[in-house]
């Protein structure tokens, strides 16, 4: 395991130089992926904690399926594993999400770290307008960079994170089908404990563990982010196609390079 000084020196490494991140692992990246494939989701979280210690965190959006990983993290406390949870609050989340976040935080006694953009929603709108209303992919990317990507990168740097887990699943978007259980991204590793899970897997896990549903689930939402870029499923759009007016599938957090969706 690397010390904090080594961690800081790797934070700005381009993710294309995957080999430079390898010393952060106890195994080769191929062996790590092979090992992770054989583990259950909860065991993948424990594996990452053993690899990265305090440099490992979970990110959450308190979205439709967020309770699954949050429940798993809570369960690991019985083994003495306390994993911080990062929440990027864009300032534009539905009221239902804020209430759901409060409920899950209390229910699972989360070590929650809330991060926001350094520019307020009002200031952003005054300077750049309502970027989500222009029907422009470029404006959406600017919005995501300001409200999601940069705040997450600030959180990862402040907490000296070397690996962060999220609830992305391979079947959600075209980009996510190319993911593995452990990938380098913007100078760190990203763990995907639920990568091969289906909607049925999510449903049965929540049912088995009596986990509360996001309030918008009953209103037809299969995924939810900001209030202005989320919609219930309909005949014309389902899943991630209900987000961002159908212009994009990703907000940028899980993308390499300058443009970085946590679950």
Structure confidence at residue 170 (pLDDT): 85
* 99, 68 contact by CB (below 8 A): no
Structure tokens at 174: 């075209």
Structure confidence at residue 20 (pLDDT): 52
Structure confidence at residue 22 (pLDDT): 54
Give CA separation, 27 vs 48, 49, 172, in Å: 12, 14, 29
Structure confidence at residue 21 (pLDDT): 59
Structure confidence at residue 230 (pLDDT): 83
Give the pTM: 0.81
- Mean pLDDT of residues grouped by 10 in the chain (263 residues)? 35 40 76 96 97 96 95 96 97 97 98 97 97 91 94 95 92 76 90 93 96 93 87 58 48 43 35
The verdict on whether 251 is a catalytic residue reads yes
3 by Cβ neighbours in 10 Å (0-12 / 13-18 / 19+) ranks as exposed
Domains and CATH numbers, the chain: 4-246 (3.40.50.620)
Structure confidence at residue 83 (pLDDT): 97
Ramachandran region of residue 160, left (φ > 0), alpha (ψ -120 to 50) or beta?
left
Structure tokens at 52: 């990265």
Structure confidence at residue 232 (pLDDT): 82
Q: Which of 191, 251, 253, 263 is catalytic?
A: 251
């Amino acid at each position: 395991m690397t010390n904090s000084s080594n961690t800081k020196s790797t934070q700005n490494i381009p993710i294309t130089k995957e080999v430079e991140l390898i010393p952060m692992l106890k195994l080769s990246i191929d062996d790590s992926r092979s090992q992770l494939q054989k583990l259950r989701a909860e065991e993948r979280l424990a594996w990452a904690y053993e690899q990265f210690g305090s440099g490992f965190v979970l990110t959450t959006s308190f979205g439709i399926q967020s309770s699954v990983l949050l429940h798993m993290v809570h369960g690991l406390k019985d083994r003495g594993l306390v994993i911080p949870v990062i929440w990027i609050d864009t300032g534009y989340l539905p009221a239902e999400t804020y209430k759901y976040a409060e409920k899950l935080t209390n229910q699972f006694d989360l070590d929650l770290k809330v991060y926001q953009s350094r520019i307020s929603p009002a200031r952003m709108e005054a300077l750049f307008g309502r970027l989500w209303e222009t029907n422009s992919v470029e404006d959406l990317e600017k919005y995501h960079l300001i409200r999601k990507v940069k705040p997450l990168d600030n959180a990862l740097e402040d907490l000296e994170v070397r690996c962060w887990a999220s609830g992305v699943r391979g079947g959600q978007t075209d980009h996510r089908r190319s993911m593995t259980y452990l990938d380098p991204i913007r100078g760190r590793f990203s763990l995907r404990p639920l990568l091969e899970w289906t909607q049925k897997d999510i449903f049965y896990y929540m049912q088995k563990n009596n986990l509360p549903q996001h309030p918008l689930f009953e209103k037809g939402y299969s995924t939810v982010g900001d209030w202005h870029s989320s919609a219930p499923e309909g005949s014309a759009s389902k899943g991630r196609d209900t987000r961002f007016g159908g212009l994009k599938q990703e907000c940028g957090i899980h993308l390499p390079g300058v443009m970085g969706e946590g679950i």
